[in-house]
Amino acid sequence: MFKYLLIVSCLLMSLITKAADYAYFGFEPDIVTNYVTVQKKMGYVRLTVELMVPSDSIEIVEHHSPLLRDAIIDIIGKQSEEKVKSIKGRSEIKLKCEEKVKALLIKETGQPLIKKLLFTQWLDN
């Protein structure tokens, strides 16, 4: 029994240590952009985006943040109202943004650098 507890505690410590190796980079200010509604009017979305990055890469990501911000705005601005307003659509948008950000960072630095892209706040009209 002691042997199993020791193994489990070692695994938990490993997970805690790995989680501590990451930091979050948030775009400041929040991202605000437009999208076209069904009635051909302009809608807008305001979102808070956080990038989970290795702690030692935060300065590199910050350096490239204008490029990454532009890519996120470009992707959201091309989305339909249905996608912007649905949970499933937002997940698809988040995935597109994450893939684009990783691709840009690979192009610029040779590494994807981000572990995860998160939308921590999403407001639309």
Which residues have CB under 8 Å from 85's CB, separation 6+? 124
CA 106 – CA 90 distance, rounded (Å): 24
Helix spans in 1-125 (H): 2-20, 58-63, 65-77, 81-85, 87-109
Kindly report which listed range (5-14, 74-83, 92-101) carries the lowest average pLDDT score. Answer: 5-14
* Structural domains of the chain ordered from first start: 22-124 (3.30.479)
pTM attached to this predicted model? 0.81
The residue with greater pLDDT, 6 or 81, is: 81
Helix (H) or strand (E) holding 118: strand 116-124
* pLDDT at 46 exceeding the cut of 60: yes
Per-residue pLDDT at 125: 85
DSSP letter assigned to residue 125: -
